[in-house]
Amino acid sequence: MCYIVEEDSEREIGTFELAAVMPEVTNPETREAVFSLAEDTVRQWMVDRAVDNKPFLAGWMTSVDFLHALPLAPQLAEADSDPVALFWGHTGMPYNTNLTDAQTRECLEDLASALGEAMGHATVYVIFAGKVWKMKFDPAAVMAHAC
């Protein structure tokens, strides 16, 4: 075997995810453009945080379909799906190694706001530390920042 376990490299990890529902589009090129906007938003968020010497998260980005049943009437349903931009990763991995849970949560919520704003979607789902919560658009916050 050519690879060995690096000494002192084993550590606990946690998983995080951000799921931003993308607008439903039928054209594959348009869907790719929407996903590219989400990916560019995440990249710019990372760069902005790094430049400001703030913690940031590193992870994977993919476009997926969230599959679910759609109840139509009693004893009648159909399968449906929603396109989702999914950013996910692990605490304890490179670039995320020294973040506390509070810092990770703050990063997730800040990035969720950036993604929601860029994609024009009112809700972004956050999953971390065995919990899931929704970040939703708050018109009052916009009014507060406009002054």
The pLDDT tens digits of the residues spanning 50-62 come to 999 999 999 999 9
From residue 125, alpha-carbon distances to 50, 77, 106 in Å are 24, 25, 14
Number of domains in the chain: 1
In a domain, 5, yes or no: no
**pLDDT of the residue at 52:** 96
Which pLDDT band holds residue 23 (cuts at 50, 70, 90)? confident
**pLDDT of the residue at 119:** 85
In a domain, 105, yes or no: yes
**pLDDT of the residue at 142:** 60
Q: Which of 21-30, 33-42, 107-116 has the lowest mean pLDDT?
A: 21-30
The pTM score is 0.81
Is the torsion defined by CA of 82, 134, 12, 10 positive or negative? positive
In what side-by-side order are the strands of the sheet with 131-136?
60-73, 76-91, 14-21, 123-128, 131-136
Bigger pLDDT: 97 vs 65: 65
Question: DSSP labels for 44-57?
Answer: HHHHHHHHTT----
pLDDT tens digit sequence for 130-142: 899 988 877 776 6
Residue 42 sits in a domain whose CATH number is: 3.30.300
In a domain, 112, yes or no: yes
